[in-house]
Amino acid sequence: MLEKARHIVVEGPIGAGKTSLAKRLAEHLQVPTLLEKPGENPFLARFYQNMSRFGLQTQLFFLFQRLEILREQPTHDLFADRLVSDFLFEKDNLFAALNLSNDEYALYRQVFAALAPQAPVPDLVIYLQAEPETLMERVRRRGLDAEKKIGEDYLAKVADSYARFFYQYDAAPVFTVNAESLNPVDDDEDFRLLVERLSNMRGYREFFGYAS
């Protein structure tokens, strides 16, 4: 699977390590990355302080930003050349459904439909799973100012939304990694095992993790 996949996406909830793993995997494969830019969202810090007030602004900014990232990428890079990305475009709706009121969500869906984004379908999705307390510890450890107000309750909701999303997701093969027992970002042996398992992946869904 790893040799055949041209567009690889690493996904997971906040703090799971998706961007770091995407960068390391891209370096290993010697291919470019396509990465989110959450630090450019001027509403993000305010959203974590007051989610009901700044949810729609934050969501729309991310939607337009991801559209711009895709538009900046030459078509041949997205559909022919190999790359590793740290976001799946469909996850926009995941966060919109989680963070917006019913009226705001309806408005967001109208905007989304009007833009009619044509995002490429990945060839492989690597989904990182971790418990909310682990996500919370990692968020605190990286110490970003915008994330200081994130609570474990919110991370639990995000993790649950991801689990529900990938339970139903069937657009591409999904390789689920237990990021509780494995750390392919910082541990060289775990990364080597990850690459080996990806290279030997044959099924449409596989799970990678040590028994607790």
Q: What is the CATH number of the domain that holds 189?
A: 3.40.50.300
Has residue 95 been placed in a domain?
yes
For the record, the structure tokens of 137 come out as 């510890």
Q: For residue 1, is it within any domain? A: no
- Report how many domains make up the chain: 1
Interval 43-58 mean pLDDT: 94
Q: pTM for the whole thing?
A: 0.91
**DSSP state string for the chain:** -TTT-SEEEEE-STTS-HHHHHHHHHHHHT--EE---GGG-TTHHHHHH-HHHHHHHHHHHHHHHHHHHHHHS-HHHHHTS-EEES--TTHHHHHHHHHS-HHHHHHHHHHHHHH---PPPPSEEEEEE--HHHHHHHHHHHT-GGGTT--HHHHHHHHHHHHHHHHH--SS-EEEEETTT--TTT-HHHHHHHHHHHHT--SSEEEE----
Report the alpha-carbon distance of residue 201 to residue 127 in Å, rounded.
Answer: 14
Q: What is the mean pLDDT of residues 86-113?
A: 93
Residue 84 in any domain: the answer is yes
Section 108-129 average pLDDT: 88
Mean of the pLDDT values across residues 70-88? 73
When pLDDT is averaged across residues 123-139 and rounded to a whole number, the result is: 93
pLDDT at site 78:
53
pLDDT at position 76: 47
Residue 2 counted as domain residue = no
Percent of the chain exceeding pLDDT 90 equals 70
Mean pLDDT over residues 1-18, rounded? 91
Flag whether pLDDT at 211 surpasses 60.
no
- Which structural domain, as residue segments, surrounds residue 77? 7-208
Mean pLDDT of the chain: 90
Please check whether residue 11 lies inside any domain of the structure. yes
* 25 in a structural domain: yes
